[in-house]
């Protein structure tokens, strides 16, 4: 960001310092990354990641990710780090948690379309 302060040129830059994941059930996790897809991580779906969370109860939860930023100031003489951080609160997203059950079967659903779980 660029501007002036009392007639002097001023620049401020913000750098992500951390990400706080709020899972909506009272749990929270802090991470240095904002997360990534399993494909981007080169992992199979449902592989646990640094931002994974296990819900103990079915239900509807509002989740969000807040990003914390550190700041530096330049009055024309070089960048100076500022103390503290500023937090940008993420928009809440409602999710529903369901329970899935599986059953061992002798055939695939293609072979026996009426089998349990098909």
Distance CA 57, CA 51 (A): 19
Domain boundaries along the sequence of the chain: 2-97
Statement: residue 115 has pLDDT above 70: yes
Question: What integer pLDDT is reported at residue 111 of this predicted model?
Answer: 85
Q: Is 96 helix (H, G, I), strand (E, B) or coil?
A: strand
Instruction: Please enumerate in sequence order all residues whose Cβ is within 8 A of that of 108, keeping only pairs 6 or more positions apart, or say none.
Output: none
pLDDT tens digit sequence for 56-67: 999 999 999 999
Average pLDDT over the chain reads: 90
Tell me the mean pLDDT in the region 35-45.
90
pLDDT tens digit sequence for 16-26: 999 999 999 99
More confident residue, 1 or 117: 1
More confident residue, 12 or 114: 12
Question: What integer pLDDT is reported at residue 76 of this predicted model?
Answer: 86
Question: What integer pLDDT is reported at residue 6 of this predicted model?
Answer: 86
Q: Is 57 helix (H, G, I), strand (E, B) or coil?
A: coil
b/e sequence 23-48, b meaning 16+ C-beta within 10 Å: bbbeeeeeeeeeeeeeeeeeeeeeee
pLDDT tens digit sequence for 65-104: 999 999 999 988 899 999 999 999 999 999 999 987 666 6
Residue 98 CA neighbour count, 13 Å, CB half: 2
């Amino acid at each position: 960001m660029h501007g002036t302060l009392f007639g002097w040129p001023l620049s401020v830059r913000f750098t992500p310092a951390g990400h706080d994941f709020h899972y909506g059930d009272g749990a929270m996790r802090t991470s240095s990354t904002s997360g990534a897809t399993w494909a981007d991580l080169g992992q199979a779906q449902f592989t646990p990641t640094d931002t994974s969370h296990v819900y103990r109860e079915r239900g509807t939860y509002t989740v969000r990710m807040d990003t914390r930023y550190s700041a530096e100031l330049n009055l024309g003489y070089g960048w100076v780090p500022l103390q503290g951080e500023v937090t940008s609160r993420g928009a809440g997203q409602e999710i529903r948690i369901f329970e899935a059950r599986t059953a061992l079967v002798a055939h695939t659903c293609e072979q026996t379309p009426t089998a349990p779980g098909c």
